Amino acid sequence: MLAMTDDAAPPRPAATVVLIRPGRGAPEILLTQRPSSMAFAGDLFVFPGGRVDDSDADERLVDLVAVGPAGEEPAFAIAAIRELFEEAGVLLAERRDGRALDAAAVAGARRALLSGETTLGGVVEALDLRLRTDRLVPISHWTTPPIMPRRFATRFYAAELPAGAEPTFEAEEVVDHRWLTARDALEAMAAGELAMWVPTCATLQQLEFAAGLEDIAARIVPGSAPAPRVVGERPGLTRVEVGAAGAVPGQTANAYLVGRREVVVVDPGDPSDATADAILGAVAADGARLVAIALTHADPDHAAGAEAFALRLDLPILAGQGAGHDLPYLVKELADGERIAAGGAELEVVATPGPRRDHVAFVVRTAGEGDRADVIAGDLVGPRAAQAILRPPDMAAWQTSLARLRARHPTRIYPGHGEPLDAVPPDAGSGDRPGARPTAQ
């Protein structure tokens, strides 16, 4: 358990495109199934994408891109455009002279690119193109966990299907595809119809309530991720401030370590190597070991790093009733009032629906602390994720849940985002300050 990421395979840069189009009631998202013969993610449904090639940093290409949000590292955006073109036949580009693209010429260029007869740079020069990197909206950064033999540091982008475009697929790259709303895709995963990994599933959750690309660009704005900060709140309770919750750099959140010798980690929502190392380092510094993962709810900013810890250390993932529905891994669902043992401490599960139906809080009682009861409240109290498109809350359930917490007379409240509080506020929390009333998105 004490092994950090030093011996892990170095992650290779990669890029992925979440292609969206208008749908009935909600945008539809393209999911493609990889052939079973592929060494990485075979048979899984994913978004089009792949590794960044050396040719993606070709100076000729960099000089012929439309400067957009990804302009600081154009090779990622160029790789995203190339992979989308190779895998789905969708080219985010335009002629530099303003004339319409010739469909036959574009199809021929794709065949030459797939066969290795040319590079994207060659295609751009032959067709006199400007790559429309400004049509890519950055949404997240995912890094394959260190237990995997192949690792990728992947930039996720969203983009609209260009008017008049129709994706086409090569069997060597894609064996099946679906256009689905995010909710329908998550339902298909829960029913066992589509197999996904966490980055795909989490992205679908993040975009479920998006009205379209403009909404995504306005609400999810990756920035720089601050380094994780470990704060010893009191013996047996440590808060870890993370900087890329839900794999969105700049989205801050709190994870918690409960227990003195055997530790439960609550809400490891940042899947980055830096946060994994910070959590493992804090546990190791106390001569302890992790024994379980507990989630207040299944939103990515609270759950995105859970599976990597579970696989790395063979740990159970514990969450409220129904939380497993939107997650692509095994979850032990906990009943209201159930208790989780940690070293010298106990976490009581309190069902607290409102932000989500599966939302729970954990009342923490520690041996030798008398009647002290601290509460890890998730999103029930305090501000919610700033870099997120939030689901509409159930306000009646939220207020009932707050009343349940107040009845336990908590000594201190530890929220999912922001600083700890000394009391449960009278109203639900969702805005820019603790206690602000949530609004439907």
- Domains belonging to the chain, first-starting first, are 12-219 (3.90.79.10), 229-415 (3.60.15.10)
**CA 35 – CA 252 distance, rounded (Å):** 36
Q: Average pLDDT for residues 92-102, to the nearest whole number?
A: 92
Q: How far is CA 57 from CA 74, 127, 133, in A?
A: 7, 19, 14
Residues 6+ apart with CB under 8 A from 332: 316, 317, 318, 319
Q: What is the pLDDT of residue 4?
A: 45
Whether the per-residue pLDDT at 439 is higher than 80: the answer is no
Contact 190, 326 (CB under 8 A): yes
Closest C-alpha to 151, from 306, 327, 308? 308
Q: What is the pLDDT of residue 69?
A: 54
Q: What is the pLDDT of residue 265?
A: 98
Q: What is the pLDDT of residue 225?
A: 94
In the Cβ-directed half-sphere of 68, how many Cα atoms lie within 13 Å?
Answer: 24
Looking at the chain, the whole-number percentage of residues with pLDDT higher than 90 is: 79
Q: What is the pLDDT of residue 186?
A: 97
Residues recorded for the chain: 441
Q: What is the pLDDT of residue 298?
A: 97
> Coil, helix or strand for 439?
coil
Q: Average pLDDT for residues 5-27, to the nearest whole number?
A: 88
> Coil, helix or strand for 115?
helix
pLDDT in tens, 402-414: 999 999 999 999 9
**CA 350 – CA 299 distance, rounded (Å):** 18
pTM: 0.92
Q: Average pLDDT for residues 247-276, to the nearest whole number?
A: 96
Q: What is the pLDDT of residue 37?
A: 64
pLDDT in tens, 307-343: 999 999 999 999 999 999 999 999 999 999 999 999 9
**Which of 277-291, 347-361, 422-436 has the weakest average pLDDT?**
422-436
**Which of 170-179, 310-319, 360-369 has the weakest average pLDDT?**
170-179
Mean pLDDT of the residues in the chain: 90
Q: What is the pLDDT of residue 22?
A: 94
Q: Could you tell me which residues are beta bridge partners of residue 372?
A: none
Closest C-alpha to 287, from 266, 260, 257, 264? 260
Contact 73, 35 (CB under 8 A): no
**Which of 63-77, 183-197, 271-285, 410-424 has the weakest average pLDDT?**
63-77
Q: What is the pLDDT of residue 9?
A: 81
Please report where in the chains the tokens 């891994």 appear, as a residue. Answer: 329
DSSP letter at 326 equals G
Q: What is the pLDDT of residue 431?
A: 44
Q: How many degrees, rounded to 5, is the angle at CA 77 between CA 86 and CA 45?
A: 50
Q: Average pLDDT for residues 138-153, to the nearest whole number?
A: 91
Q: Average pLDDT for residues 415-424, to the nearest whole number?
A: 92
Confidence category of residue 433, pLDDT binned at 50, 70, 90 = very low
Confidence category of residue 149, pLDDT binned at 50, 70, 90 = confident
Terminal alpha carbon distance of the chain: 41
**CA 8 – CA 382 distance, rounded (Å):** 37
Whether the per-residue pLDDT at 67 is higher than 80: the answer is no
Q: What is the pLDDT of residue 434?
A: 35
Higher pLDDT, 311 or 60: 311
Contact 343, 376 (CB under 8 A): no
Q: What is the pLDDT of residue 203?
A: 98
State the DSSP string of 288-353.
Answer: -EEEEEE-S--SHHHHTTHHHHHHHHT--EEEETTGGGG-SS--EEEPTT-EEEETTEEEEEEE--
pLDDT in tens, 213-241: 999 999 999 999 999 999 999 999 999 99
Q: What is the pLDDT of residue 68?
A: 56
Q: What is the pLDDT of residue 15?
A: 96
